[in-house]
């Protein structure tokens, strides 16, 4: 991949940077600024090189039109604090405000454009519509730096099409993330364990399929585990269940047995009568989930078994919480897994914006892990062996 050095002297040049500033917000308050912090080094490097830095980013999934609930303005404010310098905010993406703000930049100054997803062209499946928006973005820059690792799996105007229109390079964050994920796919130190959680099995099919060829153990928790438990013939009460995936999961279990890949499932779960923070928790064995209760976390016996396997591995990748960690009564499984990752002698990787926010919220520090990826979907697709459009386009 081309790097920023390949772009030559950037003094006085307008450099469009795609960052992933998609942070969780409570109103206009950022509840986890990890992605903003991760975007700072590349922006600073470009500013230090004398570029006029124009940051493009998205927030949430607005419907292709301006929507104040998804404005990037609070994020621009936080970015300015972290950079320690002013950031000008354009109230549109490619309109009058954007042109005015970019024209007003001095060398080394930074601007942020409004949410690129306020324009329908950003995420359009139609190449021409996306291309037309990319043409408009390209008018605002002389070069493009792709640094939003969390969006490189998206074929979108500010990630993909723009790189075909301007001299383009990967930023430091994208390079660092790819370097770590390569270690997981190419020659991981063994034993190599992968911990998967989160609500849906259907989101993880590709990665499970691929990891059955690569990992020594797969540990499954979170809402998706109930489809595994159902595949083993257990009743799951009112827990999350993807009935249409049971056969696929049965196939995975059979393949894992054939290949000698261990699939570690919980032996006990914490159940509740309803999905609520104050619902009374009860721990039950997995073969005795009451028909009128739902599983909201893995149980203590399982948490211990998961932790033992994780901390004894030399390479661990983890994506997705083990339970509803936002409710303190159902956070123990996720916390035990996070703690075990901090004890790995080798490489521990926390994959994903949501998992990253979870570990920080549970009181862990980024430095306790080998690597915290800023991209959930992107890192899973990388591990699936998929071609990521936002990376591929930087190779040419």
CB atoms within 10 A of CB 363: 8
Query: Binding to ligand 3PG by residue 20, rule CB under 6 A?
Result: yes
Q: Three-state SS for 202?
A: coil
The entry of ligand 3PG, Mg ion, none near residue 22 (CB within 5 to 8 angstroms by kind) is ligand 3PG
Query: Look-up: residue for tokens 């915290």?
Result: 372
Residue 15 tokens read as 């450099």
Q: Could you say which of 37, 78, 165, 200 is catalytic? A: 200
Q: What is the closest distance, in whole angstroms, from the C-beta atom of residue 366 to ligand 3PG in the complex?
A: 18
Closest C-alpha to 51, from 171, 136, 163: 171
**Residue 259, interface with ligand 3PG (CB under 6 A)?**
no
Under the binding rule (CB under 6 A), the answer on residue 63 touching ligand 3PG is no
Q: Regarding beta strands 268-272 and 282-285, do their DSSP bridges make them parallel or antiparallel, or are they unpaired?
A: antiparallel
Cα–Cα distance between 297 and 278 in angstroms, integer?
Answer: 14
Residue 344 · residue 318 · CB < 8 Å: no
Name which of residues 69 to 128 contact ligand 3PG (CB under 6 A).
none
Q: Mask: binding to Mg ion, 332-371, rule CB under 5 A, as x and -?
A: ----------------------------------------
Between 14 and 117, whose beta carbon lies closer to ligand 3PG?
A: 117
The CA–CA distances, whole Å, from 241 to 202, 228, 234 equal 11, 9, 12
Under 8 Å between Cβ of 383 and 181? yes
Tell me whether residue 200 is one of the annotated catalytic residues.
yes
Active site residue 165: no
Among 198, 320, 377, 390, binds ligand 3PG (CB under 6 A): 377
Q: How many residues bind Mg ion (CB under 5 A)?
A: 1
Which value, to the nearest 10 degrees, does the dihedral of the CA atoms of residues 75, 76, 77, 81 take? 100
Residue 245 vs 374, nearer CB to ligand 3PG = 374
Least Å distance between CB 174 and ligand 3PG? 13
CB closer to Mg ion out of 60 and 167: 60
Q: In the complex with ligand 3PG, which residue's Cβ is closer, 52 or 154?
A: 154
377 lines the binding site for Mg ion (CB under 5 A): yes
In the complex with ligand 3PG, the residue whose CB is nearer, 22 or 245, is 22
The closest alpha carbon to 192, from 322, 346, 333, belongs to 346
Nearer to ligand 3PG, 202 or 276 (CB): 202
* Closest among 358, 48, 351, 37 to 195, alpha carbons compared: 351
Residue 121 binds which one of ligand 3PG, Mg ion, none, with CB within 5 to 8 A depending on kind? Answer: none
Catalytic residue of the set 353, 375, 376, 390: 353
390 contacts Mg ion (rule: CB under 5 A):
no
How big is the chain by its Cα radius of gyration, in Å? 22
Number of H helices, E strands in the chain: 13, 17
Closest residue to ligand 3PG using C-beta atoms: 22
Contact between 210 and 384 under an 8 Å Cβ cutoff? The reply is: yes
Catalytic residues: 35, 200, 353, 377
Binding interface with ligand 3PG (CB under 6 A): 20, 22, 61, 150-151, 154, 353, 376-377
Binding interface with Mg ion (CB under 5 A): 377
């Amino acid at each position: 991949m081309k790097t920023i050095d390949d772009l030559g002297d950037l003094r006085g040049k307008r450099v469009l940077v795609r960052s992933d500033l998609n942070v969780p917000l409570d109103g206009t308050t950022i509840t986890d600024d990890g992605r903003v912090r991760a975007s700072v080094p590349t922006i600073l490097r470009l500013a230090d090189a004398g570029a006029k830095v124009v940051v493009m980013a998205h927030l949430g999934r607005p419907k292709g039109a301006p929507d104040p609930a998804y404005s990037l303005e609070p994020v621009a404010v936080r970015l300015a604090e972290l950079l320690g310098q002013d950031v000008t905010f354009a109230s549109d993406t490619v309109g009058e405000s954007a042109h005015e703000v970019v024209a007003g930049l001095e060398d080394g100054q930074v601007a942020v454009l409004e949410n690129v997803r306020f324009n329908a062209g950003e995420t359009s499946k139609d190449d021409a519509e996306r291309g037309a928006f990319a043409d408009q973005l390209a008018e605002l820059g002389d070069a493009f730096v792709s640094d939003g690792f969390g969006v490189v799996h998206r074929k979108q105007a500010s990630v993909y099409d723009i790189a075909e229109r301007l001299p383009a390079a990967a930023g430091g964050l994208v390079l660092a993330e790819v370097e770590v994920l390569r270690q997981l796919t190419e020659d991981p130190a063994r034993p190599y364990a992968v911990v998967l959680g989160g609500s849906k099995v259907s989101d993880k099919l590709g990665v499970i399929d691929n990891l059955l060829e690569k990992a020594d153990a797969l540990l499954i928790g979170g809402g998706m585990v109930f489809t595994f438990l159902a595949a083993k013939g257990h009743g799951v009460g009112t827990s999350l269940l993807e009935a249409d995936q049971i056969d696929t999961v049965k196939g995975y279990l059979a393949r894992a047995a054939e290949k000698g890949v261990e699939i570690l499932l919980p032996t006990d779960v914490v159940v509740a009568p309803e999905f609520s923070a104050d619902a009374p928790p009860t721990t039950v064995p997995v073969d005795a989930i009451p028909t009128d209760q739902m599983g909201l976390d893995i149980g203590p016996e399982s948490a211990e078994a998961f932790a033992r396997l994780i901390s004894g591995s030399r390479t661990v990748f983890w994506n997705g919480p083990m339970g509803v960690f936002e409710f303190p009564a159902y956070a123990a499984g996720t916390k035990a897994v996070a703690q075990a990752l901090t004890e790995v002698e080798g490489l521990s990787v926390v994959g994903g914006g949501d998992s990253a926010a979870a570990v920080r919220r549970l009181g862990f520090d980024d430095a306790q892990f080998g690597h915290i990826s800023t991209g959930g979907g992107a890192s899973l697709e990388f591990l699936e062996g998929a071609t990521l459009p936002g990376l591929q386009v930087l190779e040419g």
